[in-house]
Every structure is written in C-alpha cells, then in structure tokens.
Amino acid sequence: MDTFALKIIAINKVFYEGNAKQLIFSAVDGLVGIMAHHEDAVIAVNVGEVKIQTAEDRWVIAISGAGHIQIDRNHVVMMVDTVEYPEEIDEQRALEAKERAEEQLRREQSLYEYAISKACLIRAIERLKIKKKYSAR
C-alpha cells in the first residue's frame, strides 16, 4: 500500500510527522478517510477521534480539536487547536469540564456565549468517550 506525507500540528506541538497509509478523522459531514494520492482538498475537521495507520502498519489513535486539513500532491497537513493520546486525557478534568459546560448551557447567554459553551460540551463529551473506549484495552 502506498503512503503519503502526514503532519499533524496543534497549537502547542507537532503531534505527528511521517509517512502514513491512512488517516481517518471526523469532518463536518461525517468520518473521512485519506489514503495515498487522495485528490487535493481542504477539509474542515471536527472534534473527534483520529486514527493514523503508519507506514509500518501501526495504528496511532488520538483525539483532536477543531481545525482543517490541507491535501496537496500527496502531502497532508492537519492543523487543529488540540490533539492528544487517549492516555493523556484526565478523565476527572474532562468530567468537570462537561459539567461546567452543561451548567453554562442552562443559563441565559448571548449567541456567542452559547456557541462557546456548546463547543466546550462537545469537546468534553468526545474526550470522555475516547478515554472510555481506549482505557478498556
């Protein structure tokens, strides 16, 4: 199977840089898979699970925040606000963030504040889901 160059960048770090066989991530219209020689595109990334099949057939699992992916001539760059391994997720902290966001959503807010609270809730729920899914292994 062919490979493509992949770089995943978060605000505070380069999470992954190397060749990959597949990249699977959550986009605004559902799960998207990228393989070698994918057509050039720019795709919005949603908060969710990211799976990378490395050139060595090892799977790297992570959770990413929102951002975008640029595909250009077999080079893929994913730029997101956050990205972390399941084992890096502090379950208690994520649970507290979920509760805070739920409390904020129960209050009267401006549209902007509502959007922020909803995004925080989605991120916390996704982090808890990934932590639970991969801590059982």
pLDDT tens by residue, the chain, 137 residues: 799 999 999 999 999 999 999 999 999 999 999 999 999 999 999 999 999 999 999 999 999 999 999 999 999 999 999 999 999 999 999 999 999 999 999 999 999 999 999 999 999 999 999 999 998 65
Residue-number span of the structural domain to which 69 is assigned: 4-84
Residue 40 and residue 69 in one domain = yes
Kindly compute the dihedral angle of the four CA atoms of residues 136, 59, 15, 92, in this order, to the nearest 10 degrees: -10
70 and 15, same domain (yes or no): yes
* pTM, to two decimals: 0.89
What is the number of domains present in the chain? 2
Q: Is the CA virtual torsion 131, 48, 17, 4 positive or negative?
A: positive
Residues 114 and 47 in one domain: no
CATH code for the domain in which residue 44 is found: 2.60.15.10
Sign of CA dihedral 33, 87, 84, 29: positive
Rg (CA), the chain: 16
Same domain for 50 and 64, yes or no, is yes
